[in-house]
A and B are shown apart, each in its own frame.
Chain A
């Protein structure tokens, strides 16, 4: 139980170990711990960010999908409208063409009818004249009655 120089020896040991610990033990270990803490914090925040990004991406995908659907519907609508219009136009064109053809045909028919009538008229006149010549046999003067016969033919 004597107090002696051991006390100084122990103080020297103490100082040495504290110095060693301060120099070579504490800084590397606490540095590694701090670094790991930072890494973990970064990891966690990255995970948070990723989650947020995912939500954003999902929202974006949904809105894109919606937009695409709308666009597609619009395109289909437009196409339908266009188709209808084309159909209408075609119908219109066909109707016009048909009318035109009918008008042409009618004009043709009329012309032919007129032509036939002219011919008939001329032939009727000739026929009547011939007939009348036969009936009258000379009584009728061709030049005297020609005019009347032409009038008769024009009445047909």
Chain B
């Protein structure tokens, strides 16, 4: 926080809930960055210096912190498992390989139990979701200030940023963009799997001819709009609930950590410990639920009703 400005619990919490946003400000936008007021002459891509700006950037913006952490953790996941894959042998596995194989075997069992179609993609997809979401959730266990404060110090001292502008959220899954980005990809996969299994006509059929069915062609036609409405809502509800469930759980968990940090300062290391222990459960469970629901949705997509 900048010198001279008082840190209230509200500002502390708000700062922790803001993303480092890089986006487009339209021409004529009036910026008000902590005392430096200026009007943007032409469209400009820049880092938002406060929450209002981030909001005004609208859709043309990226949460750099979320994307960097999610990408970094995803690359970490790929590297770890790639190393294991290169060492994989039918002989006696070592300790590291054994651990990786346990995860793979666990995922494989889940997929075999829940997914009854045939797909080369579903198992690696489940593995990616489980481990990647788990890693992203795990960032929650790092004391809330450690990484953001480090980032702030670097940006203020080396790049001359205003401390207030140095937003930094470390847990990607507390960003609804991240969770919805994944869940809507899953929705695209659901549509893709349905079309692959039943054809385009079959896909439209699942939307238009269920849940209300009739043998009389006229009644059938009358029921189509109702079915279409219901099934489209149903189709959209899947990714929304999938993404928001993960987001909600992680956001709530992170919020408790932030509150504890705001109340206790450095003592949070001790104070937040019980919550962290409990949170380990939530972290694993949410990663698992996201994976299992994905498998179930995709299994429903390829199965006949």
Where the two chains meet, the residues of A that have a C-beta atom closer than 8 Å to any C-beta of B are 1-11, 13-18, 20-22, 24-26, 28-33, 35-36, 39
How far apart sit A5 and B177, CA to CA, in the bound complex (Å)?
8
A33 pairs with B78, CB closer than 8 A: no
A4 pairs with B66, CB closer than 8 A: no
Q: At the interface, yes or no: B193 with Cβ under 8 Å from chain A?
A: no
How far apart sit A140 and B75, CA to CA, in the bound complex (Å)?
170
How far apart sit A16 and B101, CA to CA, in the bound complex (Å)?
22
- The verdict on A4 contacting B61 (CB below 8 Å), with A9-B181, A29-B101 known, is yes
- The verdict on A22 contacting B84 (CB below 8 Å), with A6-B62, A7-B177, A10-B66 known, is no
8 A Cβ contacts from B194-246 to A: none
B59 pairs with A4, CB closer than 8 A: yes
Q: A residues within 8 A CB of B249?
A: none
Q: Mark B125-161, 1 if CB is under 8 A from A, else 0.
A: 1011000100000000000000000000000000000
The interface-forming segment of B116-124, B262-270, B277-285, B295-303 is B116-124
- The verdict on A22 contacting B63 (CB below 8 Å), with A13-B70, A29-B104, A32-B89 known, is no
Q: At the interface, yes or no: B162 with Cβ under 8 Å from chain A?
A: no
Q: At the interface, yes or no: B57 with Cβ under 8 Å from chain A?
A: yes
A13 pairs with B67, CB closer than 8 A: yes
How far apart sit A35 and B121, CA to CA, in the bound complex (Å)?
20
Q: A residues within 8 A CB of B90?
A: 32, 35-36, 39
Which 9 pairs from chain A and chain B are nearest by CB? A10-B181, A6-B177, A35-B90, A32-B88, A26-B124, A21-B124, A22-B124, A28-B85, A7-B181
Q: How many residues of B contact A (CB 8 A)?
A: 52
A11 pairs with B127, CB closer than 8 A: no
Q: B residues within 8 A CB of A30?
A: 104, 108, 123
How far apart sit A119 and B58, CA to CA, in the bound complex (Å)?
173
A3 contact from B71, B89, B180, Cβ within 8 A: B180
7 contacts between A and B (CB under 8 A): A2-B55, A3-B180, A11-B184, A13-B181, A18-B124, A22-B121, A25-B81
A10 pairs with B85, CB closer than 8 A: no
How far apart sit A89 and B9, CA to CA, in the bound complex (Å)?
130
Q: At the interface, yes or no: B260 with Cβ under 8 Å from chain A?
A: no
Q: B residues within 8 A CB of A33?
A: 88, 101, 104-105, 108
Closest chain-A Cβ to B19's Cβ sits at a distance in Å of: 8
A6 contact from B74, B121, B124, B181, Cβ within 8 A: B181
Closest to A6 in B: B177
Where the two chains meet, the residues of B that have a C-beta atom closer than 8 Å to any C-beta of A are 17, 19, 21, 23, 54-55, 57-63, 66-67, 70-71, 74, 77-78, 81-82, 84-86, 88-91, 100-101, 104-105, 108, 120-121, 123-125, 127-128, 132, 172, 175-178, 180-182, 184-185
Closest chain-A Cβ to B67's Cβ sits at a distance in Å of: 5
Q: A residues within 8 A CB of B125?
A: 18, 21-22
How far apart sit A127 and B244, CA to CA, in the bound complex (Å)?
169
B128 contact from A3, A17, A31, A36, Cβ within 8 A: A17
Closest to B120 in A: A22
Closest chain-B Cβ to A43's Cβ sits at a distance in Å of: 12
B77 pairs with A9, CB closer than 8 A: no
B180 pairs with A17, CB closer than 8 A: no
How far apart sit A30 and B100, CA to CA, in the bound complex (Å)?
11
- The verdict on A25 contacting B185 (CB below 8 Å), with A3-B180, A7-B180, A33-B104 known, is no
A7 pairs with B121, CB closer than 8 A: no
Closest chain-A Cβ to B173's Cβ sits at a distance in Å of: 10
- The verdict on A18 contacting B180 (CB below 8 Å), with A2-B55, A5-B59 known, is no
Q: B residues within 8 A CB of A8?
A: 181
Q: A residues within 8 A CB of B101?
A: 29, 33
- The verdict on A6 contacting B67 (CB below 8 Å), with A25-B78, A30-B104 known, is yes
- The verdict on A28 contacting B62 (CB below 8 Å), with A13-B71, A18-B128 known, is no
Beyond A21-B124, A36-B90, 13 extra complex contacts between A and B, CB < 8 Å: A2-B19, A5-B62, A10-B178, A11-B182, A13-B70, A14-B182, A17-B74, A21-B78, A21-B125, A25-B84, A28-B85, A33-B104, A39-B90
